[in-house]
Amino acid sequence: MNRILILAGLASLALCAWVLPLIVSDYVVRLLIMVCINIVLVGSMCLANGFTGVFSLGQVGFVAIGAYVSGILSLSLADKASYLPDLPMFLAHIEMATLPATLIAGLVCAAIAIVVGLPLMRLSGHHVSVATMGFMIIVNVVIINADSFTRGARTFTGVPTDMTLPWVVGWAVLAIFLLARLIYSPIGLALRSVREDVIAAQAVGLPVLGTRLLAFSFGAFLAGVGGSLYGHYLGSFSAQTFFFPLMVSLITMLVLGGMSSLSGVVTGVIVVTALSEMLRNLERGVHLGPVSIPPLFGASQVVLGLLFILVMIYRPRGLFEDREISSVFKRRKQRSNS
């Protein structure tokens, strides 16, 4: 019964993804694509941050790596010759389709995560967030200086913009599915135990470092995939695209919904994306008959930041805390029965 419902849901989602672009405006489609990519990105942060107890501020570093790796791999040979003339031979003659490039980007990120996670995931307490943020800085500095791979501080351009709605819907569904499988499995239980109490988890024999590393590197894989999708959506980007502002907006989505809940991730992404889009329109200036409000650059971020602070004060564990929509339904049923 349940399975049929899920299949029906997926089928209708797929139908929407195919049909919607024919009906609604390009603008709405672009917005929906952004929502799906953000679901992948915020989902990746949810795993690393909500389920291990190590709050990583470095996830955006993986997003950057994913975007650049996939960008370099899928750039056309002609573009490569003109934009990246100093690329090493083995890369200069590769022109990949988006899908393999995306997967490779994810795997590269996962591999890097294992290497940097070995020291990072050993740390705990107050310093780990600064150290993980350090990772974001390191990635940023390397991208700006690795001229022959990234065009340095200049815009990296020419990435095929082939993100269609069905594509990203597929990735978002896959990301949520994989995360759900992982989180609500025995491994997920281990993750949550490590989050709740490191010493107790160690005492019952859970390999804390291994569990954290697994979550961190799988999160990095998804971040790399999301970064690749983001890159193929934008077409051109620079090191500054994947920096502090992106980190804050992703974290806003994460904390709004609740960082230990997948339903929270989806809700947070939708609410924040919709809200910031609305605010951005207001920001450009509004004309209401004779009254016109001048453009207010930065206003949307101010409002989002304030919303973020309000969530922290009144609902620090997010809208969903650590529940899922399905369990919310379950609880209601139990209550009405009793």
Partner 1 sequence: MNSLEFTIQQIINAVSLGSLYAMVAVGLSMVFGILKMTNFAHGDMMMTGSYATVLLSALGVPFPIAIVAGIAVSALTGILAERIAYRPVRGAPDVTLLLTSLALTYVLENLAILIFSGSPRSFPTPDWMNEVFAFSDGAITFTSVDIISSTSAILSLLGLGWFVSHTTTGLGMRAAAEDMAAAALVGLDINRLIVIAFAIASGFAGLAGMLWAAQSGIIEPDMGFSPLLKAFVAAIVGGFGSIAGAVLGGYLLGALEILIVGFGPTELSPYRDAIVFALLIVFLLFRPGGIMQANREVKL
State the residues that interact with partner 1 by CB under 8 A.
Answer: 55, 57, 116, 119-127, 129-131, 133-135, 137-138, 141-142, 144-145, 198-199, 202, 208-209, 244-245, 248, 251-252, 255, 296-299, 301-302, 304-306, 308-309, 312-313, 316
Residue 189 Cβ vs partner 1, minimum distance, rounded to whole Å = 19
| Nearer Cβ to partner 1 (134/235) | 134
Q: Report the chain's C-alpha Rg in angstroms.
A: 21
Residue 63 Cβ vs partner 1, minimum distance, rounded to whole Å = 17
Residue 46 Cβ vs partner 1, minimum distance, rounded to whole Å = 13
CA distances from 201 to 12, 197, 248, 274 (A): 42, 6, 31, 40
Residue 213 Cβ vs partner 1, minimum distance, rounded to whole Å = 11
What tokens appear for 297 in the block? 């650059």
* Cβ–Cβ < 8 Å for 135, 120: yes
Residue 273 Cβ vs partner 1, minimum distance, rounded to whole Å = 16
| Nearer Cβ to partner 1 (171/308) | 308
What tokens appear for 229 in the block? 């999708």
Distance of alpha carbon 231 from alpha carbon 143, whole angstroms:
15
Distance of alpha carbon 73 from alpha carbon 80, whole angstroms:
10
| Nearer Cβ to partner 1 (74/217) | 217
| Nearer Cβ to partner 1 (134/170) | 134
Residue 222 Cβ vs partner 1, minimum distance, rounded to whole Å = 21
Distance of alpha carbon 176 from alpha carbon 71, whole angstroms:
24
Residue 70 Cβ vs partner 1, minimum distance, rounded to whole Å = 22
| Nearer Cβ to partner 1 (98/193) | 193
Distance of alpha carbon 13 from alpha carbon 159, whole angstroms:
28
What tokens appear for 176 in the block? 């949520």
| Nearer Cβ to partner 1 (29/131) | 131
| Nearer Cβ to partner 1 (283/324) | 283
CA distances from 282 to 48, 285, 292, 293 (A): 34, 6, 11, 9
* Cβ–Cβ < 8 Å for 41, 219: no
Residue 329 Cβ vs partner 1, minimum distance, rounded to whole Å = 28
| Nearer Cβ to partner 1 (13/133) | 133
What one-character-per-residue DSSP string does 134-200 give? Answer: HHHHHHHHHHHH-HHHH-TTSPB--------HHHHHHHHHHHHHHHHHHHTSHHHHHHHHHHH-HHH
**Residue appearing with tokens 């609740």:** 258
What one-character-per-residue DSSP string does 195-245 give? Answer: HH-HHHHHHTT--HHHHHHHHHHHHHHHHHHHHHHHHHHHS-B-GGGGSHH
| Nearer Cβ to partner 1 (22/199) | 199
